[in-house]
Structure 1
Amino acid sequence: MKNYAVTGSIMLNNIKYADGSTKEGLLGGGGLYALSGIRLWTDQCHFVGDIGEDFETLVAPWWDGNHIPRTGLNLCHRHCVYNQVNYEPDGRFFEHSIYPEGSAHNMYMVTHPEQIEPVAGDLKGLSMVASANPVEFRKIGRMREKYGFKVMFEINTGNCKAEFLDDILECLQHVDIYSVNLPEAKDIFSQETEEGCIAAMQKIGKPCFFRVGIKGSYMVMPDKAWFVPIVRGEHDIDPTGCGNSSTAAAFFAMCEGEDPLMCAIIGNVTSCLNAQQFGPMPVMDAALRQKARQMAEDLYRQYSGQ
């Protein structure tokens, strides 16, 4: 059976929310949240990337408790990343590295194509939270052609600016789908409106899972954009990681042959379940998977009219 893999960061977060409240030492990181987003729907997913020695005390209880394989983990540092994340009222967030201090964070735990190569032959899909580096993506593209897996590119927020558009477009030649949120899309495409962003995406001709905050998300295809409103839960607590987890889940749905509407729904259901607690979903078991699937099927009937 083919597997899924994700890349990105594993970290601890100190978070200051838009209302001024704070939480410290929460498990997170784009890679970890993306991993949880796919693991909600299938056990056939692992992480590829770097970890620190403190993984064993900080992350392993959650990791091993959810029976996640350690395939692809590369121990190469003393510590995992530690970030400060500050949310703005409009849903945007800004982060800086507590450890390692300063700009060293940008290269501290970057997953390179050479780390993916050993597992590439077993992949059905690779979900990447990554910077827009055309050199690295050309390598990914060659693996994609050789082994036949699909690639999701969730663009790092730091690269979501108009000055990186050419690099982003070059990277997109080597992937099957990408994802950004509304503020990021406005900056990349120099647009003022949601509609303008969608039009710019459709000109590129590459599918995009387009997240629009508390409004919901779109699956944007070259000829049509499917919108699904946000899925509210009983205890919406923490939006951290909702973009990462929903992006990876929508990608999983696409790889499994779901239509664009269901892809967006599966992304939104994942975001909903991710937001029900501080940090990632604590236990991704058969009961939660069944609940998620039922939520998705009910919403599909509602929005498709079937």
Structure 2
Amino acid sequence: MDYIIVSTAVIDRITDPRGNYLGEKLGGAGIYAYTGAKIWSDDAILVTGIGRDFNTKFEYWIRKNNVDVSGLIIKDEKTAISNINYLSADNREETPEFGREHYQKMEATTKEIASKINNTKGVYIFKDCNKDYWNEVFELKKNHNFKVMWELNGDVCKPDCLELVKEIAKNCEMISLNKSEAFSLLGSDDLNYVKRELIKWNIPLIYLRVGDKGAIMISPDIQINIPTVKNINVIDTTGAGNSSTAAIMVGYCENMDIYEIGLMGSIAAAFTIKQFGPTDIDENIKFEAKKILVKMKQNKKD
């Protein structure tokens, strides 16, 4: 399996910044990241725990999108529910309906990840700073020679976690966080300062997401701004960061140039925000994504 996505598949109950309840949708960082990877690669799998009710609730989407369910592991009768309250477009609060212990039970163990590794190129992980967990991940990485994309859980984006975050990040090829998370982690709302500090981490690629302004790709020797896809009717921004981050992983592991990698992330995000819940990932979507990529690359040349 070329790409393994390690995060949650849940039911999202979403309230928008205006206080409007949008109902229950298929969600979770893992689901959105899976779609972002699948837009660009046919060979990706989501590894996570689910409730026994999951496949029944979302059978239509699973069948329509030919989802490989072999990485979905039944760990409880009920699928986790996340109550998402948006304070603004890029700032939200999340509360697990059945409690944090139930939610955490759904997370894939490193043994469950290992069971799916087979000539794997990249593993996306949305996670906190659990050192024991990461030590096990890095042992797998050492033995199987895959690359790691770490999307930081917002809970660890605070100054007292900074040194631990840096310690884990130095063993990753890629990390991803949004502007608000970077400001909180580094204790500054000065974007130029944040960029200077992140460069010092000397990580091959940092994907700094800046909402409707696009993203900034940061590596030890280059910084480059990545535009968003234009003329998108934004319906719901949930999952845009997850999907774009997984797309970035695919581009990096396929040795694309840094600007093209960034565009792949923007395009994945664009498909995510066009509706409530995850995008479809059929051949029409993949074809359209490739067309947009060609056009955006040409626009840069022009």
User: Does the alignment pair 1:139 with 2:140?
Assistant: no
| Counterpart contact for 1:231–1:268, Cα < 8 Å | yes
User: Does the alignment pair 1:149 with 2:146?
Assistant: yes
1:196-232 Cα offsets, whole Å, 9 max, x none, are: 1111110001121110011111111112211112223
* CA–CA distance in structure 1, aligned partners of residues 167 and 231 of structure 2: 38
* CA–CA distance in structure 1, aligned partners of residues 135 and 221 of structure 2: 27
The equivalences for 1:155-174 within 5 A come to 155-174=152-171
TM-score norm. by structure 2 comes to 0.95
Letter in 2 for 1:202: I
Q: 1:139 to 1:194 in 2, by over 3 A?
A: same
| Counterpart contact for 1:133–1:167, Cα < 8 Å | no
* CA–CA distance in structure 2, aligned partners of residues 270 and 138 of structure 1: 30
| Counterpart contact for 1:9–1:29, Cα < 8 Å | yes
User: Does the alignment pair 1:112 with 2:95?
Assistant: no
User: Does the alignment pair 1:221 with 2:219?
Assistant: yes
| Counterpart contact for 2:17–2:85, Cα < 8 Å | yes
* CA–CA distance in structure 1, aligned partners of residues 268 and 288 of structure 2: 11
- Name which of 292, 298, 302 aligns with 1:301: 298
Aligned to 2:90: 91
* CA–CA distance in structure 2, aligned partners of residues 106 and 64 of structure 1: 25
Aligned to 1:255: 253
Q: 1:265 to 1:41 in 2, by over 3 A?
A: same
1:152-200 Cα offsets, whole Å, 9 max, x none, are: 0001111111111122122113321000000000111112222111111
| Counterpart contact for 2:110–2:137, Cα < 8 Å | yes
Aligned to 2:78: 79
Letter in 2 for 1:175: C
| Counterpart contact for 1:233–1:273, Cα < 8 Å | no
Shift of 1:106: 5.3
1:3-26 Cα offsets, whole Å, 9 max, x none, are: 211011111111111133221111
| Counterpart contact for 2:177–2:207, Cα < 8 Å | yes
Letter in 1 for 2:25: L
* CA–CA distance in structure 2, aligned partners of residues 237 and 47 of structure 1: 25
Letter in 2 for 1:260: I
Mind listing any 5+ residue stretches in structure 2 that lack a counterpart? Answer: none
The alignment partner of 2:75 has SS state of strand
| Counterpart contact for 2:179–2:209, Cα < 8 Å | yes
Aligned to 2:182: 185
Mind listing any 5+ residue stretches in structure 1 that lack a counterpart? Answer: none
Q: CA RMSD in A?
A: 1.5
* CA–CA distance in structure 2, aligned partners of residues 80 and 300 of structure 1: 41
Shift of 1:70: 1.8
Letter in 2 for 1:298: K
Aligned to 1:211: 209
Aligned to 1:273: 271
Letter in 2 for 1:280: P
Q: 1:214 to 1:105 in 2, by over 3 A?
A: farther
Q: How many residues align?
A: 301
* CA–CA distance in structure 2, aligned partners of residues 211 and 234 of structure 1: 17
Letter in 2 for 1:192: D
TM-score norm. by structure 1 comes to 0.94
| Counterpart contact for 1:120–1:143, Cα < 8 Å | no
* CA–CA distance in structure 1, aligned partners of residues 180 and 228 of structure 2: 17
* Identity in percent: 26
* CA–CA distance in structure 1, aligned partners of residues 37 and 89 of structure 2: 27
* CA–CA distance in structure 2, aligned partners of residues 167 and 106 of structure 1: 23
User: Does the alignment pair 1:57 with 2:76?
Assistant: no
Shift of 1:259: 1.0
| Counterpart contact for 1:133–1:171, Cα < 8 Å | no
* CA–CA distance in structure 2, aligned partners of residues 131 and 62 of structure 1: 29
1:54-90 Cα offsets, whole Å, 9 max, x none, are: 1122233212321111222211111111111111235
Letter in 1 for 2:250: F
* CA–CA distance in structure 1, aligned partners of residues 88 and 104 of structure 2: 29
Aligned to 2:67: 68
Aligned to 2:119: 122
The alignment partner of 2:116 has SS state of helix
